[in-house]
Amino acid sequence: MDEKQSKQRILIIDDSPIQAEALKSILSPRYILNVAKNGEEGLKFARKYNIDIILLDLVLPGMSGFEVLYQLKESEETKNIPVIFITGSDSDQDEIKGLALGAVDYVRKPFVDAVVKLRVEIHLKLISQMKIIERFSLTDGLTGVNNRRSFDQATKSEWSRSMRSKGWLGMIILDIDNFKRFNDSYGHLNGDMCLKTVAYVIRKAVLRKTDYVFRLGGEEFAVLMPGTNFEGTVTVAEKIRKKIAAAPVRCENENAFVTVSIGAGAIIPSGQKNAESFEVFFAKLDKAMYRAKDKGRNRVEEM
């Protein structure tokens, strides 16, 4: 991994250039640092970059540090980023309010280099450990792709993001054809190998880092593709279908082959009244997948 990619990223939200530079000198070059001069800019940075921790000044022009923290915790994209308040105040009430809103710690001015470093390091270690635990809880143990819990979280987040940006959200649902017959013929251990093979092929066919692959349960999988329109989603679905049909499942004494039935479609989510919900969108894709099965399997049906 590139050294820059492996470094954790800290966002400093502080309107004082002197204080921001002091923090940068304390924390660089160990971390990647972004600096925002006010709350609005800080919120944009928090949504744009993969931020590991935020150092937030309590007193800011316009939007206060408390207001920024509230908005961070209200957003699905930023609610899990730990926030350390920067303050020159000795007010217990301010500290209680900040902690109640979700701040993890306070750093007081003037800065003591060792204290800043240790507090940032402690919370970054904690968040790293939490991410490892969360990654295991969101991963399907057999295939290594995202599980149903991850699907529920990601679809909620990406639906909201696409709604705000008025962008496309593509999705594919697929089911392995005649999987019960495969298990009956080759046994459940080879059935597991079949699921692993299908998951591997899907992951290799979905090239963008922003796309998600899920095992929804049993022999059903899904692919979520933010920013992909209807035509692009159907193209990827057809690519996946062909690659799975051509991929051998290595059983003990022979290679077996399976096919999949796919429902594919895309939508620009809308927050308007009576707009189509994610549940309706998902149901249409599910129906399209079953149409593919009814029409002979090993095919893609558009929603």
- Token look-up 């316009």 returns 62
- Are 113 and 26 spatial neighbours (Cβ–Cβ below 8 Å)? yes
The string of DSSP letters for 65-132 reads HHHHHHHHHHSTTTTTS-EEEEES---HHHHHHHHHHT--EEEESSP-HHHHHHHHHHHHHHHHHHHH
- Token look-up 């609005």 returns 40
Which of 158, 219, 301, 302 is the catalytic position?
A: 219
**Who contacts 24 (Cβ-Cβ below 8 Å, separation ≥6)?**
12, 33, 35
CA distances 132 to 7, 9, 47, 82, Å, are 16, 17, 21, 16
Cα separation, 56 vs 42, in Å, equals 9
At CB < 8 A and 24+ separation, what contacts does 25-29 make? 26/111, 26/113, 26/116, 26/117, 27/116, 27/117, 27/120
At CB < 8 A and 24+ separation, what contacts does 14-23 make? 14/55, 14/56, 14/57, 14/60, 14/86, 15/57, 15/60, 15/61, 16/57, 19/57, 19/86, 19/109, 19/111, 22/111, 23/55, 23/86, 23/111, 23/116
Residue 219 annotated to the active site: yes
- Token look-up 């600096």 returns 35
Measured N-to-C along each axis, helices 278-294 and 148-165 cross at an angle, to the nearest 10 degrees, of 120
Q: Which residues are tagged catalytic?
A: 219
